Amino acid sequence: MSAVLRDLPCFQRTFTLDELVDDVGRAVSLSARRPGSDVSEAVRQVLAEHADVTLPLSHAQWAGSPERYTRHLLHADPAGRFSVIALIWHPGHRTPVHGHRTWCAYLVLRGILREARFAWHAAQDCAVHTDTVTRHAGQTLAAPAGLADIHSLGNDSNEIAVSIHVYGVQGDQISTHVNHLVRGEMAG
Residue ranges for the binding site?
A: 98, 100, 151
SS (H, E, C) 96-124: CCEEECCCEEEEEEECEEEEEEEEEECCC
Rounded to an integer, what distance in angstroms lies between the CA atom of residue 20 and that of residue 47?
Answer: 8
Phi, psi of 61, rounded to the nearest 5 degrees: -65, -40
Residues annotated within the binding site for Fe cation are 98, 100, 151
CA–CA separation, 43 vs 31, rounded Å?
Answer: 9
